[in-house]
Amino acid sequence: MSIVIEHLNYVYMQGGPYETRALDDVSLTIHDGEFIGLIGHTGSGKSTLAKHMNAILLPSGGKVYVDGIDTVDEDRLLDIRRTVGMVFQNPDNQ
């Protein structure tokens, strides 16, 4: 299993008056068996990046592949979410 992120961009409220670029040209590969940590200030894009790994959010630009599956492929959404889980900070959001 691997996660491959290629030139990922994400913009919240794209085209609106409060448009915010959260991710800008992020590329990353996580190989099977690797452990990574994401650190940064509030608002730096950590959660936005994580939500792309299990297709909660879809890219404004670039690609995210989970085990070779493009996260924009709606027919494979369950396969992606079986592979990449997410634990939310607030249990009420589970």
Give the C-alpha separation, 74 to 80, whole Å: 10
- Backbone φ and ψ for 75, nearest 5 degrees, come out as -70, -15
% of residues, the chain, pLDDT over 70:
97
Q: pLDDT at position 81, please?
A: 92
Question: Residue 18 — very low, low, confident or very high, per pLDDT cuts 50/70/90?
Answer: very high
Identity of the residue numbered 1: M
- In tens, the pLDDT along 36-58 reads 988 999 999 999 999 999 999 99
pTM beyond 0.95, yes or no: no
Map residue 76 onto helix, strand or coil.
helix
pLDDT for the residue 74:
95
% of the chain surpassing 90 pLDDT:
82
Residue (of 32, 90, 60) closest to 49 by Cα position: 60
